[in-house]
Structure 1
């Protein structure tokens, strides 16, 4: 009779060998990436964005199911090539389309997204749990953004603003500046995605996957129409609040005004206080680095990001000028 101890050493060695082998494979396939060198920034097409013209949805699309996560009306659709997309309606559709393009332009990972001023959706239900007033009759839906992860990638989890592989790096601090530049104040960890690719040798992409609260106020107001996509406030709000010898503070993210305190859930209010550090004490050298990338964008490229999002010619011009002014603030450091 063989005693269990006799097998203990060989089994242990075998298990360690398997773990080491798997660990090596994972190490190859799961290198974390937050930012990649964008190369010639002036050649980037901000109208089509990260997916390019070739990856746009093959129309028509058909309704699959409603997505009740988050606050914006969303649902899943499938195009004629079998690709699934997340459709978003409401106040976040336009700002997110433009903001994602600005992030992608300078090397940060961004989802493929496309905005449609009018989209026919087959099998669209007569009513949705959210956004009933936003969906038209007969499957015609106005002002909708379709989004999917980069090709061959899938959602593999979320990452934390405080605890991540990039904390303290130039690239991470540059992302903090970008959140202020686009005024994306909803900095919940659930809006940060880790994207995984099953193909050997592919990295894990870390991205801010939901930037729908951009292009408005530097912090949430009691009214979403004030907070999201508010051109008037975005134009008059300066990006930088204080410049010190070695670091800068952004005018972002702003906590809710005290006179609006009782309009919010207490949990949300304290969360907003807890993430104010994102815009504070950013190394000046890292802010200058991100400025060196942003300053390579042409006015036309910036305008294309907003044209792709369905903004009117006047709003395209106004938003473009506001973005250029914020880039100017950084460039003068």
Structure 2
């Protein structure tokens, strides 16, 4: 009996020693499944899969995943898809909070009357950088801007930093908006995508490995109805879990926007004469074992995602590598400057990305 009690006590001590970061991940995944809070002046985001919903699928008449980016070397990667003229203009007035997802988010309206979705937390900087690289390669992305500092009026938030909730202070937050005339109508699934097997789809899989975007849940994809151009845009809309580790890590700070994790992470895992496999997204087995099952829900949500980075035709990986190779050192520097990383971090990120581009071109 004494042995059983001691064993029970040891187990309790072990479980109590599980790092708080793991508990945070479990909570984050639960939050990610909650319904977005309703915004006063717009329809609620639609998180239904368009392929499995007959009414939504009937609307998919002209689906697009990629477009020819044109002269890549001439693109302004500091200002990105929105350009300098469309950047957020203060003062900002609070509209409502979105309680879904991992990071604190809320909507504001700027001095031009433009509505923006603002994200605070460790995903803000990597998301801005990732959006610029995807846009430069011809993939669709929101118009993202990193605002280093500022104020927002009349804030009423349940989540977020004390500075934000109590004083409306903005520090390194991401402002994002959909281009005019676009509305989210649903999400798309990686495994059932109508683009599956195409060069452009495989190129997107490679891009996820280039930027170490490991959080590839289907709910992080979106389909926008572009009424102006009579088309339906398919994109990876939540790309904040980038530029850190190959997979979910011990703490969120190491998983996203962490140059030490990014620099030490793997890229090409293996290759054959015809295919190449990448290290991202990594199956989170280590996290499950380290927490003695405490993060089982997070593991279950991501255990089958690693196929997205595996067995990609070499010619498709080489194709996207060729597009990436058209970016100059200055353009890549602008990608990370736009996300307000320190100069030391900027140069380190550029060095890793340039190394990965070289590896792709050599395939």
Q: How high is the TM-score relative to the length of structure 2?
A: 0.81
Q: Does 1:249 align with 2:277?
A: yes
Structure-2 separation of matches of 1:157 and 1:145: 23
In structure 2, the residue matched to 1:4 is: none
The alignment of Structure 1 onto Structure 2 pairs a total of residues equal to 305
Instruction: Give SS of 1:248's match.
Output: strand
1:217 to 237, 241, 245: 245
> Which residue is equivalent to 1:113?
144
Residues 190-229 of structure 1 mapped to structure 2, 5 A cutoff: 190-199=219-228, 201-229=229-257
Instruction: Return 5+ residue gaps in structure 1 as ranges.
Output: 1-22
How far apart in 1 are the matches of 2:294 and 2:275? 32
**1-structure distance, mates of 2:166, 2:344:** 29
1:332 aligns with 2:362: yes
Q: In 1, distance between residues paired with 2:163 and 2:233?
A: 33
Which of 295, 302, 309 aligns to 2:339? It is: 309
What is the distance in 2 between the residues matched to 1:260 and 1:64?
41
CA displacement at 1:60 relative to structure 2: 1.2
1:127-166 correspondence to structure 2 within 5 Å: 128-133=157-162, 135=164, 138-166=167-195
| 1:1-333 matched pairs, under 5 angstroms | 30-125=61-156, 128-133=157-162, 135=164, 138-199=167-228, 201-256=229-284, 257=286, 258-262=288-292, 264-333=294-363
* 1:64 to partner: Cα distance: 0.7
Partners of 1:269 and 1:118 lie apart in 2 by: 36
Task: Please list the CA deviations of residues 196-255 of structure 1 after superposition, one character each: whole Å capped at 9, or x if unmatched.
Answer: 0223x4211100001000000010013111111110121122310112100001011112
User: What are the superposed Cα offsets for residues 152-172 of structure 1, whole Å, 9 maximum, x if unpaired?
Assistant: 211111000011110000000
> What is the alpha-carbon root mean square deviation over aligned residues?
1.7
Contact 2:213–2:242 (CA under 8 A) maintained in structure 1: yes
- Secondary structure (helix, strand or coil) at the match of 1:220 reads coil
Between 252-261 and 290-299, report the one with greater CA deviation: 252-261
Deviates more, 1:212-221 or 1:134-143: 134-143
TM-fit CA distance, 1:55: 1.4
Cα distance in 1 for partners of 2:120, 2:163 equals 7
Give the distance between the partners of 1:134 and 1:227, measured in 2 at CA: 24
Counterpart contact for 1:136–1:142, Cα < 8 Å:
no
TM-score (norm 1): 0.88
Q: Larger radius of gyration, structure 1 or 2?
A: 1
Q: Which runs of 5+ in 2 are unaligned?
A: 1-54
Within 2, Cα distance between the matches of 1:163 and 1:50? 28
Q: Residues 186 and 213 of structure 1 are in contact (CA less than 8 Å); yes or no, is this contact kept in structure 2?
A: yes
The 1-side partners of 2:354 and 2:71 are apart by 19
1:89–1:134 contact (8 Å) kept in structure 2: no
Partner of 2:48: none
Alpha-carbon shift at residue 274 of structure 1 (Å): 1.1
Q: Which residue of 2 aligns with 1:3?
A: none
Residue 300 of structure 1: how far off its partner (Å): 0.6
Q: Alpha carbons of 1:262 and 1:72: their partners in 2 closer, same or farther (altered >3 Å)?
A: farther
**Cα drift, residue 311 of structure 1:** 0.8
Q: Is the 8 A contact 2:158 2:165 kept in 1?
A: no
